[in-house]
Amino acid sequence: MSTRRHQPHKHQQPLATTVCATLFAGAIVAYMYFVCISVVHVVLQEEARQEVASLRSDIATLEREYIAAQHAVSERIAAEPGLIAVGEKVFLRRGGDSLVFAPAAP
């Protein structure tokens, strides 16, 4: 009986090399893809921050214009004929001692 050594086929070694090279190339492509995606994400995040800052600035400007317009309307209404300036201000409490909420005398 002769002993035969089991030798790998000649096709198995180049196939394994091809598979390993393909997996290595795929890993490099995947790495480059994920690096590019993270750079794009950082750029978009910075653009979003700038847009938020711009919108907040616009809101502050609009609020300032609104308050100025409201103040102008209040001054115009206060200057109408028949309105007089109030001298002393009276403040009421919600407690039981207030004249407004006093119970009727029996």
Name the residue ranges covered by the structural domains of the chain.
Answer: 13-82
Question: Look-up: residue for tokens 């209040």?
Answer: 74
- Tens of pLDDT, residue by residue over 7-41, are 555 556 788 899 999 999 999 999 999 999 999 99
Stronger pLDDT, 7 or 58, i.e. the higher one: 58
Place of tokens 């907040």: 56
pLDDT over 60 (residue 2): no
Q: Which residue has the tokens 């750029």?
A: 43
82: left (phi over 0), alpha (psi -120 to 50) or beta: left
pLDDT average, residue stretch 44-53: 97
Q: Determine the average pLDDT of the residues in 97-104.
A: 55
In contact, 40 and 46? CB cutoff 8 Å: no
